[in-house]
């Protein structure tokens, strides 16, 4: 079974370019969860259109194409390919449908907890993130596709310098933005019952520390939906008090085996 909640705030912006998805389904007595966060990019409402479009389409993917892979007994590799086919199609459709040649696009980070196959599948592009939060540590599962993150990985700047770098919004990969040759990241793992999963946009994490995330979202402090929502809301308030100007979106999930309840 799952425990989960989310927050989504326009922050101090005029348009909310963040979008999120949280769906559950049952198959052969197994509960399955699919969650995603997008952070749109582009001028005016371009980012808002792109992020909302991708969320609506991956929701359809979960309900139809993914459901078909389960019925056909397909492997997680086939499910990964199916999701990639979907994202590649969305990349093409955003580029084709962009009005007046204006580029627009979106980041994307998703988490599928497939309890039928006892596996998780993460799809990722951009600087939205997936974390795994344990009682004593925080693991960033995804790698940011951004100018700053690339320079940190190459040793050009330090993580401390990256926190104050003016190029925070320069990403190197996304869905859309006029590019046709895209490669997305996929991570396959075993489901974790000892952690809290956190999906978030960059607006949620820039003004708070990993230690603050661990303190509020550690699994032992989040036994139910109400507790998760209370702690996400506290972190949202902390971001706003520290003058975060971006849209702020976060979604937290705990996977609890029924035998553990």
Q: Using one digit for the tens of pLDDT, what is the confidence trace for 129-174?
A: 999 999 999 999 999 998 888 888 888 888 778 777 778 778 899 9
Q: Using one digit for the tens of pLDDT, what is the confidence trace for 52-82?
A: 999 999 999 999 999 999 999 999 999 999 9
pLDDT band at 44 (very low <50, low <70, confident <90, very high): very low
* Single pTM value for the model: 0.94
Output the 3-class SS for the chain.
CEEEEEEEECCCCCCCCEEEEEEEEEECCEEEEEEEEEEEEECCCHHHHHHHHHHHHHHHHHHHHHHHHHHCCCCHHHHHHHHHHHHHHHHHHHHHHCHHHCCEEECEEEEEEECCCCEEEEEEECCCEEEEECCCCEEECCCCCEHHHHHHHCCCCCHHHHHCCCCCCCECCCEECCCCCCCCEEEEECCCCCCEEEEECHHHHCCCCHHHHHHHHCHHHCCCHHHHHHHHHHHHHHHHHCCCCCCEEEEEEEECCHHHC
């Amino acid at each position: 079974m799952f425990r989960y909640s989310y927050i989504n705030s326009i922050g101090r912006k005029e348009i909310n370019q963040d979008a999120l998805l949280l769906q559950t389904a049952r198959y052969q007595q197994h509960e399955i969860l699919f969650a995603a966060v997008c952070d749109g990019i582009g001028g005016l409402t371009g980012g808002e259109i792109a992020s909302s479009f991708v969320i609506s389409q991956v929701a359809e993917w979960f309900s139809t194409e993914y459901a078909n892979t389960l019925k056909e007994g397909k492997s997680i590799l086939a499910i990964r390919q199916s999701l990639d086919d979907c994202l590649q199609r969305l990349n093409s459709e955003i580029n084709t449908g962009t009005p007046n040649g204006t580029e627009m696009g979106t980041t994307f980070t998703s988490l599928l907890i497939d309890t039928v196959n006892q596996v998780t599948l993460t799809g990722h592009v951009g600087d939205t993130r997936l974390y795994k939060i344990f009682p004593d540590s925080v693991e960033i599962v995804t790698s940011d596709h951004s100018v700053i993150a690339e320079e940190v990985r190459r040793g050009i700047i330090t993580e401390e310098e990256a926190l104050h770098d003016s190029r925070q919004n320069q990403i190197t990969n996304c869905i859309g933005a006029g590019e046709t040759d895209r490669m997305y990241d996929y991570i396959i793992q075993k489901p974790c019952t000892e952690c809290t999963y956190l999906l978030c946009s960059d607006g949620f994490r820039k003004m708070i520390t990993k230690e603050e995330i661990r303190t509020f979202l550690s699994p032992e402090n989040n036994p139910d939906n109400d507790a998760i929502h209370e702690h996400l809301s506290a972190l949202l308030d902390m971001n706003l008090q520290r003058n975060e100007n971006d849209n702020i979106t976060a979604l937290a999930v705990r996977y609890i085996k029924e035998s553990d309840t």
